[in-house]
């Protein structure tokens, strides 16, 4: 898979670790920055990485900032993106299995190297199970289109 990566200055070191993990798992990385610890605005890199997923230039993206909240909010504004802020392996697994998340957001301040590795590995290895969850993901897409998801017949 092609994995887009992005961080702000607070997530830079964690992004470097993630890049190594993704490469070790035999995936291709597309790094949208930042390239050092100098201050940058997280929406800029979130937009670039999330848009690459939306345009199908990348299969998925992983974004990091100090809390993961800003990246999650910014990425979820991009059409076709389902960004999930995950703090543990269970959240990472469910975000893929149930919600077909295509962007993983992480907190550099709250996630150590060992947990970071576990979350990234689980998230990249977990497939979307579909089934009853497909209907719910279609409803998320309906909201994105400005529609009331309750109006979808059979999802």
Instruction: Give me the active site residues, please.
Output: 65, 98
Burial 110-145 (b: 16+ CB within 10 A, else e): ebeeeebbebbbbbbebebeeeebeeebebeebebe
- Phi, psi at residue 107, to the nearest 5°? -100, 120
Tell me 93's DSSP state: H
Estimate to the nearest angstrom the gap between the alpha carbon of 44 and the chain centroid. 15
């Amino acid at each position: 898979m092609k994995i887009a990566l992005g961080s702000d200055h607070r997530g830079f070191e964690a992004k470097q670790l993630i890049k190594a993990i993704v490469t070790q798992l035999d995936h291709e990385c597309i790094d949208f920055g930042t390239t050092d610890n100098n201050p940058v605005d997280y929406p800029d890199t979130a937009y670039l990485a999330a848009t690459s997923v939306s345009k199908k230039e990348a299969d998925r993206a992983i974004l990091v900032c100090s809390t993961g909240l800003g990246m999650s909010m910014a990425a979820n504004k991009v059409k076709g993106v389902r960004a999930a802020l995950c703090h543990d392996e269970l959240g990472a697994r469910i975000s893929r299995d149930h919600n077909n998340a295509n962007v993983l957001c992480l907190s550099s301040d709250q996630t150590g190297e060992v947990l970071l590795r576990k979350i990234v590995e689980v998230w990249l290895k977990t497939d979307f199970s579909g089934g009853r969850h497909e209907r719910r993901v279609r409803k998320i897409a309906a909201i994105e289109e400005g529609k009331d998801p309750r109006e979808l017949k059979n999802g």
